[in-house]
Amino acid sequence: MRPCFYNGITKMCRDSKHADLTRAHRFILGLRDAGRLVWHYTQNIDCLEEKVGLSTDLHKGAGN
């Protein structure tokens, strides 16, 4: 791999720690809180799901 790839990933990781929820994240949270979230698929590259309590572990269920 090239150093520019790793530099980009490192920057994205740092930036994601300061990222805000999007409308999509809030919508998914609303479904979960209403008991209507059946399944949640994500690429989870920004870790925002975990920050707001949505579980990304199949064994743990929907989260807080």
Q: Which two tokens stand for residue 47?
A: 């870790």
User: What are the residue ranges spanned by the domains of the chain?
Assistant: 3-51
Q: Which two tokens stand for residue 55?
A: 């579980």
Full-model pTM: 0.58
Supply the pLDDT for residue 16: 78
- 8 or 64: which leads in pLDDT: 8
Tell me the residue length of the chain.
Answer: 64
Mean pLDDT of the chain: 78
Supply the pLDDT for residue 64: 56
- Contact (Cβ atoms closer than 8 angstroms) between residue 63 and residue 54: yes
Supply the pLDDT for residue 34: 92
Q: Which two tokens stand for residue 10?
A: 């490192």
Q: What is the pLDDT of residues 31-54, one digit of tens each?
A: 988 989 887 777 766 777 777 777
